Amino acid sequence: MATGINENTGLLITDAAERKQRLNRCFKTRRGSLPLNRAYGSNLSDRVDRNITPDLAIDIYADVADAIAHPPNGFTDELKLVKTWLEYGENEVTLTVEVELLFDGSIEEISGLSL
């Protein structure tokens, strides 16, 4: 069972809420920007503020897969990416990922991840 502290409220969070927060933090952190852990993060921040074309969507999906599979991000022993898709709203695009939890084999959908 994963446990953490909610970055907004300071309250204890577990399981899906904690995984969502960890994924969101990883996706928002530019790889190479943390002085003590240069390998942590993703390249998704390079895709922000651009028109979403089919080619850019594929690049986003590839960056998501890379971030989850990249060992320094800490997801390789816990999650396996099953599916990812973009949801288009008014003036915003959110990311949803479907992951397999490796410790019990269940599938979990984590939606509302921001880019």
Say which DSSP state 95 is in: E
Q: Helix (H, G, I), strand (E, B), or coil: what is residue 5?
A: strand
Which CATH number does the domain housing residue 38 bear?
Answer: 3.10.450.40
In this structure, the number of other CB atoms found within 10 A of the CB of residue 46 comes to: 11
The whole domain housing 43 covers 3-114
* Residue-level pLDDT at 88: 87
Q: Regarding predicted confidence, which is higher, 24 or 91?
A: 24
Q: pTM for the full model?
A: 0.88
* Residue-level pLDDT at 112: 86
Work out the mean pLDDT of the chain and round it to a whole number: 91
Rg, the chain, Cα only: 14
Angle between helices 15-28 and 54-69 (to 10 degrees): 120
Q: How many domains does the chain have?
A: 1
Q: How confident is the model at residue 1 (pLDDT cuts 50, 70, 90)?
A: low
